[in-house]
Structure 1
Amino acid sequence: MEKETNPLGNNIKAVVFDCDGVMFDSAEANRRYYDAVLARFGKPPMDEQDFAYAHMHTAFETLERLFGSGEGLKKALQAAKDLTYFPFVRLMRMEPYLMHLLTWLKPNYHLAVATNRTNTMDAVISEHGLTGFFDLVVTSMDVKAPKPDPGQLYKIMEAYSLSGDQVAYLGDSVVDEQAARTAGVKFVAVANPNLEADVHIKMLVEMEDILGRQ
């Protein structure tokens, strides 16, 4: 039987993961964290529009949306710093097939993370037993601007001297799509059929079959 064509091409050398919505279901953790900050100021919990925004953007951008600019934002940033996200990391739920997929990928691919998280990614990796899997973790703190700016992906490409057709980026949001398009990497949309992508998957388990066609 003829081997199926790989929709990502046959030259992938690095697999890059977004964090929230791809590696983890962080909905409960994110909602409880931002709602806790809001509660400190007597504000109601996030509505669904704010929650969707928080899923894709940095903590600073989210707090700016929730509190506006000026003194309100300054106080919110301090409250968020005092509260810290770290107690909420344990509420993040790892996607069921992630560990198996990383174990399968590790011998043959560079593995990296490109996320709009800031200072919490090390804790996420440590808390959930992922230490040692990723060669490079790039957060919004490591580049001049968060996604959709392509800086995170450019940094990963430069680190391993790779061209766009050698990188597969797994993301689930429009900011991931835009970053991938600008950087010229192959984009895998995870559980979001509304995005433009080279490949759409519903679950991470599908990546083993796709990359196995190389």
Structure 2
Amino acid sequence: MYVCNPASPPEFLARISGVIFDCDGVLVDSRDANRMYYNLIREGIGMLPITPEEEDYVHMHAVGECLDRIIPAERREEAEEVRRNLDYRDIFPYIFLEDGLVELLETLEGLGVRMAVHTNRTSTVELLLAHFEIDRFFSPVIAAGALKRPKPDPEGVHRILADWQCPKDAVAYIGDSALDERSAAAAGIAFWSYKNPGLAAAMHLPDFDSLRVCLSGLAAK
């Protein structure tokens, strides 16, 4: 696996015309917010906070799958009622953009590289992108609620590829989880792991600044 290094930018970057981003853990640091959100649901029906293992799970999966995992089946309707009465915007102060993200997005935009989001968030991703004023960079935005099969199924990636009409070898998926890795592999596109060198990836990104500098160096040639 190549580790992104501005001193030796890989040649394959020169042919990239589209980049797909995961949301949680890639665009934003939302781990604390996700834990808070699901703990509020559990608290609302008198349950204890989620465990560390459950926290890992809810950070990656769609909300329906998360509730299946952390709420007993006989209490799902109670949990759904609590969830319907939560305002996700109240959690925004606990979500932060990843360092260097905006600068990378601006660089990709300047290079004419298309950008999309594919996330297992169900219905809050557009609200989140607008809150941070980065929604203008992404088209399309594919959330789990719009899919028959969320990640790791490649349905969302296939939708983006169809919208862009880009060859697969010109598109990369940036993600931080095994679900992202599997979704990219199933769709036949390159996977770049973000802050997770343990994943099987064509390139590991320790941070966004490294990728930005690599792209800027190639553009200057």
Q: Report if TM-score (shorter chain) is over 0.5.
A: yes
Count of paired positions: 211
Preserved CA contact (<8 Å) 2:41 2:82: yes
Match of 1:33 in 2: 37
Match of 2:170 in 1: 166
What are the Cα deviations for residues 21-54 of structure 1, in whole angstroms up to 9, with x where unaligned?
Answer: 0111101111111101110111111111000000
CA distance in 2, matches of 1:61, 1:89: 22
4+ long deviations beyond 6 Å:
none
Match of 2:116 in 1: 112
Task: Flag structure 1 segments of 5+ consecutive residues without an equivalent.
Answer: none
SS at the partner of 1:138? strand
CA distance in 2, matches of 1:104, 1:197: 22
Match of 1:203 in 2: 207
- TM (norm. structure 1) is 0.93
CA RMSD, 1 decimal: 1.6
Match of 1:60 among 64, 69, 72: 64
Q: Which structure has more helix as a fraction of its residues?
A: 2
What are the Cα deviations for residues 66-117 of structure 1, in whole angstroms up to 9, with x where unaligned?
Answer: 1133x31222122112214232133211012011111111131111101000
After TM superposition, list the pairs within 5 Å mapping 1:1-214 onto structure 2. 4=8, 6=10, 8-69=12-73, 71-107=74-110, 108-212=112-216, 213=218
Task: Flag structure 2 segments of 5+ consecutive residues without an equivalent.
Answer: 1-6
Identity %: 33
Q: Which residue identity does 1:98 align to in structure 2?
A: L
Q: Which residue identity does 2:108 align to in structure 1?
A: L
- TM (norm. structure 2) is 0.90
